[in-house]
Amino acid sequence: NRMLLAFLAGKKGDDKALEHLEIGIRYADANAYMWDVISGRALRGKLLQLKGKTDEARAEFTSLLALARENGHRMVVDDCEEALRTLG
């Protein structure tokens, strides 16, 4: 999965990782691949958090929480709630 590879590259400092994640998320969304949209956004939120972009990460996890609930992705809901507690 390219989005996972982008996330891993971002953890290693790749400055284009967020851009690559966004491309993957847009592609998944355009093709109604909801699981890929949700997992890509979760990776984006985690990467933003790791990069210290707390406001952006908080916004991503808040939005993703609603999307995950709407689509019945309980594990992602739990992950978002935990991330939001951590971010404060």
Question: Across residues 53-70, what is the average pLDDT?
Answer: 97
Task: Indicate if the pLDDT at residue 1 is higher than 90.
Answer: no
Question: Across residues 26-41, what is the average pLDDT?
Answer: 97
- Neighbouring CB atoms inside 10 A of 64's CB total 25
| 43 neighbors 4 (Cβ within 8 angstroms) | yes
Does the global pTM surpass 0.85?
Answer: yes
What pLDDT score does 4 carry? Answer: 96
Structure tokens at 64: 């993703």
| 72: three-class secondary structure by DSSP | coil
What is the residue whose two structure tokens read 């990460």?
Answer: 57
Give 86's pLDDT tier (boundaries 50, 70, 90): very high
What is the residue whose two structure tokens read 């691949």?
Answer: 33
Task: Indicate if the pLDDT at residue 31 is higher than 90.
Answer: yes
Question: Across residues 22-35, what is the average pLDDT?
Answer: 97
Question: Across residues 25-38, what is the average pLDDT?
Answer: 97
